[in-house]
């Protein structure tokens, strides 16, 4: 892994299968350090599965995922995975980003509480620390989750549909945070559907249709012929086909 200084993450022949049928099929490539990369593709293309494998939420896969073992990774799943009815305060949600180092919310020091307050201020939620999560709008809840990512101080940030079903102002504010992370040389990989958004804010794109269709600079990847090929590949998949067997 000698050249992983320029590559935050390298995947080699990555395959993730459910009941023998691939959700991600023999994907290889590099995510460059300090870049904003969008993962796009048709529904069912394996985008969230790929992100889950990169973040450690999906552990049953073939192939290799390589990155510096000291690299901190922050993984933000889809908003639908968050139970906003659970009785928890905003500052407790953000504090979860510190648990790998402090073990429990009760053990927070002054500087750690200050980090939580600073993160909430950065996402526009000053004064919200003691509110219940259930009191917040969808956009405010997503801001809280971004604050949780911020306190993790991660070099690799994985976002699964981070702007889905939230208002335009919140989306604009959170996109500003992504650009700030880029300036800080953090690597951001985000699953997205809005191609206009991708063209305006992301420099690299992985176009996925279970297999890698194209990967590189945004303008090159999002050409009409590549998007058409991805749709064709997605429609051609047969979930009743024989089990995927990797040749030895």
Confidence of residue 237 (pLDDT cuts 50, 70, 90): low
What does 61-103 look like in DSSP terms, one character per residue? -EEEEE--TT--EEEE--GGG--TTS--BHHHHHHGGGHHHHS
Model pLDDT, residue 2: 46
The DSSP 8-state label assigned to residue 164 in this structure reads: T
Strand pairing report for 204-209 and 211-217? antiparallel
Please give the Cα distance from 146 to 162 (Å, whole number). 9
* Cα atoms in the Cβ-side hemisphere of radius 13 Å centred on 128: 25
Model pLDDT, residue 247: 46
Query: Could you count the other beta carbons within 10 Å of the beta carbon of residue 11?
Result: 22
**Mean local confidence (pLDDT), 160-171:** 94
Per residue in 86-123, pLDDT (tens digit) is: 899 999 999 999 976 665 555 688 899 999 999 999 99
Torsion angles phi and psi, residue 12, rounded to 5: -130, 115
Label residue 53 left, alpha or beta by phi (over 0 means left) and psi (-120 to 50 means alpha): alpha
Confidence of residue 238 (pLDDT cuts 50, 70, 90): low
How many percent of the chain have pLDDT more than 70? 90
What radius of gyration, in Å, describes the C-alpha atoms of the chain?
A: 19
Model pLDDT, residue 118: 97
Domain boundaries, the chain: 1-69+198-248
Q: Which of 200, 142, 130 is nearest to 173 (CA)?
A: 142
Sequence-separated (6 or more) residues with CB below 8 Å from residue 111 = none
Residue 149 has pLDDT above 90, yes or no: yes
SS3 3: coil
**Which residue do the tokens 């650009």 mark?**
179
Residue 1 has pLDDT above 50, yes or no: no
Please give the Cα distance from 92 to 75 (Å, whole number). 17
Please give the Cα distance from 236 to 94 (Å, whole number). 42
Give the CATH fold of the 1-69+198-248 domain: Rossmann fold (3.40.50)
Confidence of residue 240 (pLDDT cuts 50, 70, 90): low
Model pLDDT, residue 104: 54
Per residue in 182-228, pLDDT (tens digit) is: 999 999 999 999 999 999 999 999 999 999 999 999 999 999 999 99
Confidence of residue 4 (pLDDT cuts 50, 70, 90): low
Confidence of residue 85 (pLDDT cuts 50, 70, 90): confident
- Asked if 179 and 125 touch (Cβ cutoff 8 Å), the reply is no
Strands of the sheet containing 36-40, edge to edge, are: 73-76, 156-160, 187-191, 36-40, 204-209, 211-217
SS3 25: strand
Strand pairing report for 62-66 and 7-18? antiparallel
Per residue in 7-66, pLDDT (tens digit) is: 889 999 999 987 777 899 999 999 999 999 999 999 989 999 999 999 999 989 999 999
Tokens matching residue 78: 């889809």
Model pLDDT, residue 107: 67
The DSSP 8-state label assigned to residue 80 in this structure reads: G
- Looking at per-residue pLDDT, the higher value among 118 and 85 belongs to 118
């Amino acid at each position: 892994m000698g050249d992983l200084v320029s590559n935050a993450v390298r995947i080699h022949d990555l395959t993730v299968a459910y009941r023998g049928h691939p959700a991600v099929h023999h994907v290889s490539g590099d995510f460059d350090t300090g870049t904003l990369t969008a993962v796009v593709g048709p529904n069912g293309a394996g985008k969230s599965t790929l992100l889950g494998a990169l973040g450690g939420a999906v552990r049953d896969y073939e192939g290799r995922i390589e990155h510096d073992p000291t690299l901190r990774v922050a993984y933000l799943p889809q908003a639908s995975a968050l139970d906003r009815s659970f009785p928890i305060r905003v500052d407790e949600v953000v504090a979860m980003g510190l648990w790998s180092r402090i073990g429990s919310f009760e053990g927070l020091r002054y500087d750690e509480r200050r980090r939580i307050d600073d993160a909430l201020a950065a996402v526009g939620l000053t004064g919200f620390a003691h509110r219940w999560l259930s009191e917040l709008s969808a956009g405010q809840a997503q801001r809280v989750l971004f604050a949780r990512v911020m306190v993790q101080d991660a070099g690799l940030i994985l976002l699964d549909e981070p702007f889905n079903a939230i208002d335009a102002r919140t989306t604009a504010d959170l996109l500003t945070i992504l650009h700030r992370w880029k300036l800080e040389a953090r690597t951001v990989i985000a699953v997205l559907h809005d191609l206009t958004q991708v063209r305006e804010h992301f420099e690299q794109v992985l176009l996925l249709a279970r297999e890698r269709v194209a990967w590189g600079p945004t303008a090159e990847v999002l050409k009409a012929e590549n998007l058409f090929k991805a749709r064709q590949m997605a429609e051609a998949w047969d979930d009743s086909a024989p089990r995927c067997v990797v040749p030895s």
